[in-house]
Structures are given as C-alpha cells and as structure tokens.
Amino acid sequence: MSGPKDRVQVVIAGAGPVGCVAATYLAQRGIDVLVADAGSDSAQDLRASTFHPPTLEMLDSLGVADTLIAMGLKAPVYHWRDRRSGTVFAFDFAELEGDTRFPFRVQCEQYHLAKMLSTRLAELDSVQLLFDHRVVYLEQDDSGVNVTLEHMTGLRHVRADYVIGADGANSIVRKWLGIEFDGFTYPEKFLCLSTERPIEQDIPGLAHVNYVSDPDEWLVLLRVPTLWRVLVPANDGDVNGDLLSDEKKDKVFDGLVGPGQNVQTRHRTIYRVHQRVAKQFRSGRVMLVGDAAHLNNPLGGFGMNSGVHDAFNLCEKLVEVLGGRADDSVLDLYDRQRRTVTHDFTQQQTIENMALMRAGQSDAHQKRLETMRTLAEDPDKRRAYLLRQSMLTSLRDAAAIG
Ligand SMILES: Cc1cc2nc3c(=O)[nH]c(=O)nc-3n(C[C@H](O)[C@H](O)[C@H](O)COP(=O)(O)OP(=O)(O)OC[C@H]3O[C@@H](n4cnc5c(N)ncnc54)[C@H](O)[C@@H]3O)c2cc1C
C-alpha cells in the first residue's frame, strides 16, 4: 500500500461487502481509492449468507467467485414449505441454465467476501484501506468533496472527486446529505439462531435454503458450511425472560426437532427489520449504495446482493466519468436505475415474500398455498418466478431504464 494521500479520486465510506466490491471494481480499473471504515476489521457478525446468480457473475468479473464458491455451498434448489400441511414446493435454479453461468445460490457468510476483498485491497498501491477511521463530516463544492475522518490520534482531512456512501443502515453520509429514508419498521423483531446440530437428520429432505410457512411461527432454515441458521419472528411477549434466553431458544428448537433436545447454539442475534429507501441515491458528487441507500427484510436474500448490484452499476459509470468519457450527468442514471428497481423489485418482492410466510397466520392461508402451487407447477409462471427470485429480472429491468 502506498503512503497517505490527501487528494484521491474516490473516497468510500464503509468496508462492508458493498464498499469492498466498489473499491475493488474501481481499483482494478486504475482509480485511486481511499476506503475508510469505522470498525477495526471486517465485521464478522451473522448477516447475509446467500449469493445470487447475477452477483456471482459480478464477483467472477472481479476474480473472486471461484474462491467464494469453494468456501461456500452450492444451493441450486430451495424449498417453500407449509408446515401445517407438510406440503413442500421445490424451486430449482438449474432451470435458469440458459440465463446465467451460475444457475445456483451460494450459501456463504458475507464476512468471507468482505474479508477476502479487504485483504486483497490492502495489497494494492492505488488503494488506501483505513480501518478505525470513521467518516464524521463531508462538504462538497463544484470541483470536489472534503471528507473528515476521525481516528484514534485525531482527524484526517481528504479531498476527493467523488464519495461513495457504503456506510450501512445508519449512514452518516446519508445524514450529512439530509436525504430522507422513507419506509417502515416491522412490529415484530427477528431472532437469528445458529447451531452445529445436523438438522437435516431431524428433518429429512431439507434443502440448503428453506422458507417454512407455519400458522404459529414461520421460520427460515438456512445451511451455511458449518452451521444451520434459524430465523424466526419474535415478540417480547413470547417468553418470560429476554428473547435471547434459553427459554426462547428451546421453544424454537422444540418445535423444529422435537421436545427436550437441548440444542446448543453458536450465535443468538435479535434485530429489527425495516423496509426503507433513500429519497435520492445521488446528491452532487456523493452517491449512496447498499444498506446506506435501502433496507429490506431478509426473505429472499436480496439485501447484500442488491447492494453489490448498486456498486457495479455506479462504478461502471464512475469509471467513465473519471476517464473523461462521460459527463457526470450519467450518475443521475445510476440514481434512476437503482432507485427504481429498489422500489419496484426489492421492496415489492421482499414484502410479498414476508406476506407468504405469514400466510399461515391469516384466513388467506389456503389461497397463498394455492398461489405457491401455481408458481411451482406452471412452467411459465415458475420460470418467471425463478428469474425474479434469482434477481436476474431486476438487473434486466434496471438496464432498460434510460
Ligand atoms: C442481523 C442482520 C441479518 C441480516 N441477514 C441478511 C440475510 O439473511 N440476507 C441478506 O441478503 N441480507 C441480510 N442482512 C442485510 C445485509 O447484511 C446487508 O444488506 C449488507 O451487510 C449490506 O452491506 P453494506 O456493505 O451496504 O453495509 P454493512 O455491511 O452494514 O457495512 C457498512 C460498513 O460501514 C462501516 N461504517 C459505518 N459507519 C461508518 C462511518 N461513519 N465511517 C466509516 N465507516 C462506517 C461499518 O463499520 C461497516 O463495516 C442482514 C442484516 C442484519 C443487520
């Protein structure tokens, strides 16, 4: 890595998966980048674990898809299960063989991607990767952006041609720009438990990805290489103690693998889920990507993937602008394309996926079951559904926006 520079072409706030993808894309095309992250290393918490086909194509163009696939599990098939009736609908991405070079999901924790990319970025001369550096202030004028970074020994001032805000849900970049983050927060919290127990032996025939609709408690069962992850809705009234208690954990696993099994967990995380979209993805020389720009529920695994798609869309245009081959009004196209598909696809599809999971709790249960049966059994509808769930449709829709 080269020494500190006070003038760079692009500052990226945040070295999560989306910031690291943006930095890698730009650095591979000779752009001078500074990446600042408030944390002391890539975060290792339990978050996204699914990589969709178009994301794998993008990562392949950065030269990292093979390593990621080797670290993860290929999951061509996923199940939508109705626990009450025992009905299982299987959806197989292998049907999309003619549409993508990667007709499967890869199940792998997102921190493997962020860690792999940040390790590679740290070795590049054109990149300054600064952990323990928090973006605390920005101010832009016609020719650039002044960014202030806070670190243990004081403040550092950098001037950039452009800034990318990849600083997550509570984005300081978005706040400095004064951009509203409209949407709503679900009333229920989500509890994520992980276990080394081989649940596939308790429930034979499980896919690596299972969405389970249930009248009492819907759940998502996801396999990553060394663990099963279980995601359930949780309310404070569910248990006497807190939602991370053994009481709650036992309640979840008793319903899943049978009573009294005392299943051991590796992680227990409780979090709130939002559906929110920033009113603008661009303000002058500053752009938002990933969770800084949009949040959605995890049903379908679109959060991180759509952030990677933002990064690619934006960086393709930014390289042209910085190379003098395009006017910077092309960055408005980034805003139009990605904000439109965020509203029309990611938000709509995740809200719909949530409604299907909750179906067991409403009178519409039978109707929703029939909806899934039609999707699974009608070849044309199934193909359209697979194209949506694999996110291929959203990218085609974005490309069609001029
Ligand atoms: C508990 C949980 C579970 C989830 N599960 C799923 C899932 O199953 N599937 C799915 O697709 N998505 C899931 N998501 C969403 C997914 O994790 C995000 O969409 C993804 O992490 C977005 O990546 P990002 O790089 O935009 O943001 P982040 O991963 O949040 O990274 C932002 C980075 O910015 C840094 N940062 C923050 N503020 C500053 C600052 N001021 N200056 C410098 N750096 C800063 C942070 O340290 C962090 O490294 C989950 C999210 C949570 C919270």
Per-residue pLDDT of the chain (402 residues; tens, 9 = 90+): 445 669 999 999 999 999 999 999 999 999 999 999 999 988 777 789 999 999 999 999 999 999 999 999 999 999 999 888 889 999 999 999 999 999 999 999 999 999 999 999 999 999 999 999 999 999 999 999 999 999 999 999 999 999 999 999 999 999 999 999 999 999 888 999 999 999 999 998 999 999 998 767 789 999 999 999 999 998 766 665 688 889 999 999 998 999 999 999 999 999 899 999 999 999 999 999 999 999 999 999 999 999 999 999 999 999 999 999 999 999 999 999 999 999 999 999 999 888 877 765 556 677 778 888 999 999 999 999 999 999 999 999 999 999
> Which residues are CB-contacts of 295 (< 8 A; sequence separation ≥ 6)?
169, 183, 273, 274, 275, 276, 303
Mutate to test the pocket of ligand 1, among 151, 291, 394 (most ligand atoms within 8 A of CB): 291
- Contact by Cβ (8 Å): 210, 221: yes
Residues 38, 343, 209, 25: is their CA dihedral positive or negative? negative
In the chain, where does the domain assigned CATH 3.30.9.10 lie?
A: 189-271
C-alpha of residue 263 to centroid of ligand 1, in Å: 28
- In angstroms, the CA 95 to CA 72 distance is 21
For residue 29, what are its two tokens?
A: 């095309």
**Contact between residue 131 and residue 41 where contact means Cβ atoms under 8 Å apart:** yes
Cα separation, 149 vs 155, in Å, equals 6
Q: Is the CB of 15 under 6 A from ligand 1?
A: yes
Residue 41 Cα to ligand 1 midpoint, Å, equals: 13
CA of residue 168 to ligand 1 center, whole Å:
5
Indicate where the chain has its CATH 3.50.50.60 domain(s): 7-184+274-399
State pTM to two decimals.
0.95
Residue 130 CB less than 6 A away from ligand 1: no
- Find all residues with CB under 8 Å of 181, minimum gap 6, and list them: 174, 276, 277, 278, 279
Q: Is the dihedral of CA 30, 31, 34, 40 positive or negative?
A: negative
The token pair at 83 is 């626990």
Judge: domain 7-184+274-399, CATH 3.50.50.60. yes
Domain 189-271 indexed as CATH 3.40.50.970: no
- CB of residue 270 inside a 6 A radius of ligand 1: no
What token pair was written down for 212? 């389970």
Beta bridge partners of 227: 224
Cα–Cα dist 259/251, whole Å? 8
Cα(108) to centroid(ligand 1), Å: 15
Choose the residue to mutate in 11, 34, 37, 338 for probing ligand 1, maximizing ligand atoms within 8 Å of C-beta.
37
Dig out the tokens for 192 from the structure.
């994520």
Closest CA to 293 of 134, 168, 137, 111: 168
